[in-house]
Amino acid sequence: MLKYIARRLVILIPELWIITIIVFTLLQLSPGDFLDQYRLDPSVSKETLKAMEREYGLDKPAVVQYFYWLGKVVRFDFGQSFYYRRPVASLIYERLLGTLVLSLYSFVLSWIIGVVLGVVSALKKYTLTDKILTVVAFSGLAVPGFFLALLLLYMAAKTGWFPIGGMYSPENTKMDVWNAFKDIFWRLQLPAFTLTFGGFAGLMRYMRGSLLDVLNEDYVEFARAKGMPERVVIYKHALRNAINPLVTMFGYSLAGLLSGAVITETIFSWPGLGRLTYQALLQKDYYVVMASTVIGTILLVLGNLVGDILLAAVDPRIRYE
């Protein structure tokens, strides 16, 4: 297992390098650059534009720009943001907390609700409970996330039950720890519900289908024929094998923790990493986009690795040599 993990981590290096080349090439091929907004301003002189090009390194060929950035990354320096005129690492660190709070909270809720309701739906197959849960699941899969977010935002504006945006209220810094926590937690509910509603629906359907397939296997019928209690048959034998496909999905889900909430963060003005990356793409802030790409790629590979390790842990038939 250790050799397998080491091999996967070594493969991460060329994967990361190739992906950064592709993303940087796409950024360069897209029309314009960060200074276009200044070129359209008649009050900005050509001398100023040339000075800014030298300052940001935009006067150099694309290949030189890439290897200049790569040399900094090797020293754990992601460069300077064009728009914010600050180190990219500090920007990402600031936004990381907001994204982790939102993503982890909705991630945990999605998995708990999705797995539990999936098991209930499978055990109550074709009953009224199963039909109601099926309608809820298909609604979660069918309703676009941005549309649900806009509906929730409209509801909050009309009723005043929830704040309409942001992670903190203006008075948050003046509150004690408990009230500051309640302020953030209350503002978290609408964006978290938006992510959770779409997330648990798919998990519930996967869990239901997988458990129903396993319940029809011969070894489950054999366990029942031996006189085992139904609770033992389901939760010890059937559920343990039915969970395998979801373990693989768990690894993929980890990869989306920092980048899977771009639209939700934008609509609810949540200060997260996804919103920062989206704004950087619009502003052609290359180094912010590249740093987000590196982080997303690392999470994707590590998430898949975690999924493989967990799959081997829950299924004794799987071994990595």
Report the predicted TM-score, pTM, of the whole model to 2 decimal places: 0.80
Q: At what angle do helices 286-314 and 273-283 cross, to 10 degrees?
A: 140
Q: Write out residues in the chain with pLDDT < 70, as ranges.
A: 1, 255-260, 314-321
Burial of 213 (0-12, 13-18, 19+ CB in 10 A): middle
pLDDT in the model for residue 132: 92
pLDDT digits (tens, 9 = 90+) for 262-298: 888 888 888 888 888 888 888 888 888 888 888 888 8
- Please report the domains of the chain, with CATH numbers, ordered by start residue: 23-88 (no CATH), 91-318 (1.10.3720.10)
| pLDDT at position 259 | 63
